Structure 1
Amino acid sequence: MEIQTKQFITTLQEEKYQTITVKLTKTDIKNMALKKVVAAYSQLEKALQAGKISQIKIDLPFEVPATIELQAGIINLPYELVDKIKLLTNAEDQAVVNLYLITTADNLNASGMRIDEMSSVAEFLAQPQVVSKKIEDEIKQKITELKAAAKDQA
């Protein structure tokens, strides 16, 4: 999947992207039960097949607010930083759309954010089960890191 940078930026500025929200409970976290997230992958797949810029936003029940987002984007920056995306890209370029896993929590690291490229959207659409498994494993790792960060603060 490719998109013109200008079109991507307009989509973000006008908030015309799709957000699939998943709320995990403390029990989900304790058991590493990600069924709700796995269910969201099919919604993401359908949206991306239709050419819609989309994200999955996972709300985590930690004392320090934490989220994990899987965003379809053209650069490793979250949608909220659309002005920086605009500065760092050329509006006329065609860009490959990738899936980025964005973990956000004040106690995660110095910046409070970590961004990892998971795959291209084309790869996700061609092999959704393989890529989803990779993403699920990475989400479990991020949850483990966030749990450790919460213990370090206690």
Structure 2
Amino acid sequence: MKINVQTFVDQILDEKYQSKNEKTTVAKLEQEKTISDGLTYISQTTAKNELAQFEWKVKMPVGDDTSVRLETSIINLPLMNSKTITKILDVDQDSEVNVYLVCEDPDLNRSGLRIDLCASVTALADDQESVVKMAQEWITTQLTTIQTNREAAKEEKK
């Protein structure tokens, strides 16, 4: 799936993309079925040539909830930072649409954000099973990092 850069930015800024949110727990989100459901939503939406975002609000064992998202984009920036894209990419060009994994939490790292390529929209459609496994590993790593950092901060306060 390809999209013109300016068209992409306009659609995101005008909120012309499909979005779904779910509340979940760490244990549930680390299961293949939960991740597969999110990726299926993205795959079905992009099959209709629409952009999409799927967000899990994760209830953490300690501290505030964490946001873990699947987002379709043309660059590894969260959708909320789409204005920046026009400064980086040529707005007249077409770009491949990819699926990115996004995790936002102040206890994740200094920036409070981690975003990585999950797969191209084409790869997701061709081999969702492999994409689910990769996403599962990535999500588990981010959630473990957050929990470890929160526990370490708690110990430092003692």
- The residue number in structure 2 matching 1:87 is 87
**1:45 aligned partner:** 43
Paired residue secondary structure (1:70): strand
Aligned pairs for 1:5-154 (under 5 A) are 5-25=5-25, 28=28, 32-33=30-31, 35-62=33-60, 63-154=63-154
* 1:40 CA drift (Å): 2.3
Q: Distance in 2 between matches of 1:106 and 1:125?
A: 33
The alignment covers a number of residue pairs equal to 152
Distance 2:84 2:126 in 1: 30
Please say if residues 26 and 143 of structure 2, whose CA atoms lie closer than 8 Å, have aligned partners that are also in contact: no
**d(CA) in 1 for partners of 2:76, 2:69:** 12
Give 5+ residue unaligned stretches, structure 1: none
Kindly provide the amino acid, as one letter, of the partner of residue 16 in structure 1.
K
Q: After the TM superposition, which parts of structure 1 deviate over 6 Å for at least 4 consecutive aligned residues?
A: none
Q: Is the 8 A contact 1:18 1:53 kept in 2?
A: yes
1:38 partner letter: S
Q: Identity across aligned pairs (percent)?
A: 23
Asked if structure 1 preserves the Cα contact closer than 8 Å seen for 2:28 and 2:34, the reply is: no
**Could you give the per-residue CA deviations for residues 47-80 of structure 1, whole angstroms, max 9, x where no partner exists?**
0111110111111113234211111100110011
User: What SS does the corresponding residue of 2:135 show, helix, strand or coil?
Assistant: helix
**In 2, Cα distance between the equivalents of 1:20 and 1:66?**
16
> CA 1:27 to 1:129, structure 2 compared with 1: closer, same or farther past 3 Å?
closer
For structure 1, which segment, 94-103 or 32-41, has the greater mean C-alpha deviation from structure 2 after superposition? 32-41
Shift of 1:25: 2.7
| TM-score, L = length of structure 2 | 0.88
Shift of 1:138: 1.3
Q: Deviations over 1:117-150 (max 9, x none)?
A: 1111111111112212211221122111121122
- Asked if the contact 2:32–2:132 (Cα under 8 Å) also holds between the matched residues in 1, the reply is no
CA contact (8 A) 1:20 1:44 kept: no
SS, match of residue 92 in structure 2: coil
* SS at structure 2 position matched to 1:75: coil
